[in-house]
C-alpha cells in the first residue's frame, strides 16, 4: 500500500524545498519534473514553470517530463489530460508511483532543489484544483478577493470626493486581470493550434508518400476530414486562405 497524502507531501516538500499543501498542486507538472531532476540531474529546470497557473503551462511542463522519460527509457505512461485537471486521485496515484521510482533510483547524491531551479518561485495556488472560490460569496465574482470590498465606500462611508477615484481604480484592476486572463487564453490557443498544424503536416506528408506508391489509408483520410471540418455557418477568413495557398 502506498504512502498517505500527508506522508507524500512531507517527503515532497522536504525534497524540493517547497510548501505544497495539497496533492492536487502536483497537477501543474513542475514538482514531477524536479523529482526526476533529483534522480537524473539533467532536467532543464530553467524551462520548467514551477509556479504555473494556466493549463497550457501545465502541459508544457508535462512535455518536458515526457522527454525526460523518453530519454531515460522510463516506461511509465503519463496521462497528461487527466493530471492537468489537478484532481486528487489521479495525482495521488502518479505521486505514489514517483515516490516508489525515487526510492528505487535515487543514488543518495546531494541535491540542492532551490539552486537547480535558480530560485524560481514555486507559489502554485493551493486552490487550483478544486477552484473553491467560485462557491464563495458573491463578492468573489470580482477580479480578486482583496478588491471585493471596493464597493463599500460608495455607500457614503467616506467623503464623496474619493468615491469616483476608488471606483475607477477597481475597474482598472479588473481590466488588468482580464487582460492577463486573455493573454493566457491566447497562448493556450496558439499552443493547441501549433500542435494541430504539426499533425496536419505529418498526415499530409504520409498521404503524399502513399499517393506516390498508389496506396491509400482510410485512417489518415478520416484524420484529414476531422482537421478540415468546420461548423455550420463558419467561413475561413480570406487572409488565412491566401496564406495557406502560399505553401
Q: Which residues contact 92 (CB under 8 A, 6 or more apart)?
A: 5, 8, 23
Confidence label for 122 from pLDDT (cuts 50, 70 and 90): confident
At residue 236, the pLDDT reads 53
**Dihedral sign of CA atoms 154, 160, 164, 166 in order:** negative
Mean pLDDT of 23-39: 97
pLDDT tens digits for range 49-91: 999 999 999 999 999 999 999 999 999 999 999 999 999 999 9
Give the 3-state secondary structure of residue 35: helix
Distances (CA, A) of 135 to 145, 152, 162: 13, 22, 32
∠ CA(16), CA(22), CA(24), 5° rounding?
Answer: 95
Among 95-99, 121-125, 207-211, the range scoring the smallest mean pLDDT is: 121-125
pLDDT on residue 126: 58
Is residue 27 within 8 A of residue 86, CB to CB? The reply is: yes
First-residue to last-residue Cα distance in the chain? 56
79 vs 157: CA distance, rounded Å: 54
Residue % of the chain over a pLDDT of 90: 48
According to DSSP, residue 126 is labeled T
User: Cα(156)–Cα(110) distance, rounded to whole angstroms?
Assistant: 61
What's the average model confidence in pLDDT over 16-20? 95
The C-alpha atoms of residue 179 and residue 194 are separated, in whole angstroms, by: 22
Least confident of 85-94, 178-187, 229-238: 229-238
pLDDT tens digits, one per residue of 79-90 = 999 999 999 999
Q: Does this model's pTM top 0.75?
A: no
> What are the φ/ψ torsions at residue 117 (nearest 5 degrees)?
-95, 10
Q: What is the mean pLDDT of residues 184-213?
A: 84
* pLDDT above 50 (res 142): no
Amino acid at each position: 500500500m502506498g504512502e498517505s497524502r500527508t506522508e507524500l507531501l512531507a517527503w515532497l516538500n522536504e525534497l524540493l524545498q517547497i510548501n505544497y499543501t495539497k496533492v492536487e498542486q502536483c497537477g501543474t507538472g513542475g514538482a514531477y519534473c524536479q523529482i526526476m531532476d533529483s534522480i537524473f540531474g539533467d532536467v532543464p529546470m530553467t524551462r520548467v514553470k514551477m509556479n504555473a497557473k494556466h493549463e497550457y503551462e501545465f502541459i508544457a511542463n508535462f512535455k518536458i517530463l515526457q522527454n525526460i522519460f523518453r530519454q531515460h527509457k522510463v516506461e511509465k505512461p503519463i496521462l497528461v489530460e487527466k493530471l492537468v485537471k489537478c484532481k486528487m486521485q489521479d495525482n495521488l496515484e502518479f505521486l505514489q508511483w514517483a515516490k516508489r521510482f525515487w526510492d528505487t533510483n535515487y543514488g543518495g547524491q546531494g541535491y540542492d532543489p532551490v539552486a537547480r531551479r535558480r530560485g524560481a518561485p514555486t507559489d502554485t495556488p493551493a486552490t487550483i484544483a478544486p477552484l473553491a472560490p467560485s462557491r464563495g460569496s458573491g463578492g468573489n465574482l470580482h477580479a480578486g478577493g482583496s478588491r471585493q470590498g471596493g464597493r463599500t465606500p460608495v455607500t457614503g462611508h467616506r467623503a464623496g470626493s474619493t468615491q469616483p477615484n476608488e471606483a475607477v481604480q477597481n475597474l482598472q484592476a479588473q481590466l488588468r486581470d482580464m487582460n492577463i486572463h486573455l493573454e493566457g487564453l491566447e497562448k493556450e490557443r496558439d499552443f493547441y493550434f501549433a500542435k494541430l498544424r504539426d499533425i496536419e503536416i505529418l498526415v499530409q506528408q504520409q498521404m503524399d508518400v502513399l499517393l506516390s506508391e498508389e496506396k491509400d489509408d482510410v485512417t489518415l483520410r478520416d484524420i484529414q476530414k476531422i482537421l478540415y471540418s468546420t461548423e455550420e455557418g463558419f467561413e475561413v477568413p480570406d487572409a488565412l486562405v491566401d496564406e495557406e495557398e502560399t505553401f
